[in-house]
């Protein structure tokens, strides 16, 4: 039995206003700035219909990091200045490397009606890779290896990294694990985590006991981070639950950010702003 990690931080998932829509933002908060290399986590859920267009983001730039989108319900349309365009369906993941600069927009398609739920995650890039060429990884649900829960009451999907010899389809610049866990009531699973990784667990739905110490509940305690004093975590669902598990080797570099840019200095931020205004990040109409 691997030693379980101690819990370092217990966080709620408070609402923030984005474009008139309330979305949950467990990272960053006033208490915690980042879980290196993870910079931001937005959890959105809303109904889309004739009189409720949902959250549609007009074309906007990014540089210096990787914006990642996990779709859990409904669908989302993506377009970018690299010429990529497509629909993400429930279970799919979009792993985009902004690198030197990309412009994209996202939101429900004109035809879609129903509930749309997803997470947008910002993953930092090391200084040496911040100006890498942008790229787009469109990962379908069926491409992700699935590992059964220990009592067969649920499963884990490997998006990035490796677990039990199963490798996720996403290519990353630093060592990262991204797992989607679905547990039925009383389902349990123990997940080994490299001892050097920073680690967070986020609950999207349900109620789950973590390490038999704390129970994640919607709106009360939705995110945990951990000390580097063990090699695993254990999960047991009190109700049907969906969780996102993220771990990564820390980059441990200075982070300077402004709006859609994440760099290492204020000078680099100013350069990003000028390059966007000069059209160097492409165009999207």
Quick one: pLDDT at residue 101? 97
Q: Is residue 130 part of a domain?
A: yes
Q: Is residue 107 part of a domain?
A: yes
For residue 48, list its beta bridge partners.
114
Residue 98 has pLDDT above 70, yes or no: yes
Q: Is residue 1 part of a domain?
A: no
Residue 28 has pLDDT above 70, yes or no: yes
Nearest to 72 by CA among 174, 203, 254, 228: 203
Is the separation of the CB atoms in 202 and 210 below 8 Å?
A: no
Q: Is residue 102 part of a domain?
A: yes
Query: Could you give the CA distance from residue 232 to residue 247 in angstroms, rounded to a whole number?
Result: 11
Q: Is residue 285 part of a domain?
A: no
Compute the average pLDDT of residues 148-165: 95
Residue 47 has pLDDT above 90, yes or no: no
Q: Is residue 282 part of a domain?
A: no
Q: What is the DSSP letter of 267?
A: H
Q: Which residue has the higher pLDDT, 4 or 112?
A: 4
Q: How many helices (H) and strands (E) does the chain have?
A: 1, 24
Quick one: pLDDT at residue 54? 65
Compute the average pLDDT of residues 143-165: 95
Nearest to 244 by CA among 107, 137, 93: 93
Q: How many structural domains are present in the chain?
A: 1
Residue 194 has pLDDT above 90, yes or no: yes
Quick one: pLDDT at residue 285? 75
Task: Report the CATH number at residue 215.
Answer: 2.60.120.10
Is the separation of the CB atoms in 177 and 160 below 8 Å?
A: yes
Considering the chain, what is the average pLDDT of its residues?
Answer: 94
| CA dihedral sign of residues 240, 182, 119, 45 | negative
pTM exceeding 0.85: yes
201, two tokens: 């667990």
Q: Is residue 192 part of a domain?
A: yes
Query: Could you give the CA distance from residue 238 to residue 154 in angstroms, rounded to a whole number?
Result: 13
Residue 55 has pLDDT above 80, yes or no: no
CA atoms within 13 A on the CB side of 58: 2
Residues belonging to the chain = 285
Domain of residue 228 covers 7-277
Compute the average pLDDT of residues 230-258: 97
Q: Is residue 169 part of a domain?
A: yes
């Amino acid at each position: 039995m691997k030693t379980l990690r101690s819990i370092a931080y217990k966080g709620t998932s408070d609402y923030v206003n984005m474009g008139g829509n309330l979305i949950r933002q467990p990272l960053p908060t006033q208490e915690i700035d980042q879980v290196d290399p993870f910079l931001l986590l937005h959890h959105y859920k809303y109904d889309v219909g004739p009189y409720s267009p949902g959250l549609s983001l007009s074309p906007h730039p990014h540089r210096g990091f990787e914006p990642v989108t996990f779709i859990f319900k409904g669908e989302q349309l993506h377009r970018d200045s690299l010429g990529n365009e497509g629909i993400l369906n429930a279970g799919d993941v979009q792993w985009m490397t902004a690198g030197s600069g990309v412009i994209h927009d996202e939101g429900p398609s004109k035809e879609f009606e129903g509930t749309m739920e997803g997470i947008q995650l910002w993953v930092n890039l090391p200084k040496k890779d911040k100006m890498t060429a942008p790229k787009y990884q469109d990962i379908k649900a069926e491409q992700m290896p699935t590992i059964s829960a220990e009592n067969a009451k649920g499963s884990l999907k490997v998006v990035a990294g490796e677990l039990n010899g199963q490798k996720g389809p996403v290519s990353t610049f630093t060592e990262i694990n991204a797992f989607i866990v679905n547990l039925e009531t009383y389902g349990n699973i123990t997940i080994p985590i490299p001892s050097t990784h920073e680690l967070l667990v986020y609950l999207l739905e349900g109620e789950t006991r973590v390490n038999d110490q704390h129970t994640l509940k919607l709106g009360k305690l939705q995110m945990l981070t951990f000390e580097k004093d063990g090699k695993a975590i254990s999960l047991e669902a009190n109700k049907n639950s969906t969780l996102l598990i993220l771990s990564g080797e820390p980059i441990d570099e200075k982070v300077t950010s402004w709006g859609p840019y994440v760099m290492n200095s204020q000078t680099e931020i100013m350069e990003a702003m000028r390059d966007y205004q000069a059209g160097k990040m492409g165009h999207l109409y």
